[in-house]
Amino acid sequence: MSTALDYTAPQSEDQTKINMDNMYRWTRHFYDLSRKYFLLGRDQMIDALDIKDGEHVCEIGCGTARNLIQIACKYPGGVYYGLDASEEMLKTAQTNLEHAQMENKISLKQAYSQSFDPAELFGLEEPLNKIVFSYALSIIPPWHESLDHALKLLPSGGQIHIVDFGSQDELPEGFRNFLFWWLKKFHVYYKPEILSYLKQMEIEKKGSLEVQSLFRGYAYRAIFIKA
C-beta separation of 91 from 99 below 8 A = no
DSSP string, 110-160: E--TTT--HHHHH--SS--SEEEEES-TTT-TTHHHHHHHHHHHSPTT-EE
pLDDT bin (cut points 50, 70, 90) of residue 19 is low
Q: How do the domains of the chain map onto residue ranges?
A: 13-226
CATH number of 13-226: 3.40.50.150
Does the pLDDT at position 99 exceed 60? yes
Over range 78-105, report the average pLDDT. Answer: 93
pTM value is: 0.84
Quote helix, strand, coil % in the chain, to nearest 5.
40, 20, 40
Whether 190 and 166 have beta carbons less than 8 Å apart is answered as yes
